[in-house]
Amino acid sequence: MQAIRQGDVILLPVQEVTGQKIHHLILAESEVTGHKHRISEGKAELSEQDGTFYLRVFSASALLAHEEHQAISIPQGHWMVKIQREYEPEGWRYVAD
């Protein structure tokens, strides 16, 4: 499976999901607008370990929604959720959405 990107969020395939279950499906929240990258359809579960979120999609696919981006279908499997970074002359920084 390939990495999946939506705005500043990137999902990386992993072999398994670890950590404590979280009782919501918000993968990331925008610092500026308050908009959220969230699972809006499908059966999925989010967990967190050492500050990293992990997503497990149980259904054939789940829909990743955001107010400013086109919804993306996430296939069944295990995913690590990260915020993308970019390099500027001053150094690395997280992408702001």
> pLDDT class for 92, splitting at 50, 70, 90?
very low
Residue bearing tokens 């789940």: 62
pLDDT digits (tens, 9 = 90+) for 22-71: 999 999 887 667 788 899 999 999 999 999 999 999 999 999 998 888 89
Residue bearing tokens 């929604």: 65
Measured between alpha carbons, how far is residue 80 from residues 33, 36, 42 in Å? 24, 17, 18
Neighbours of 93 (CB within 10 A): 10
The pTM for the full model equals 0.82
Paired tokens of 27: 């993968």
Asked whether the beta carbons of 86 and 10 are under 8 A apart, the reply is no
Paired tokens of 58: 């149980």
Q: In the chain, where does DSSP find H-type helix? A: none
> Domain-by-domain residue ranges, the chain?
4-94
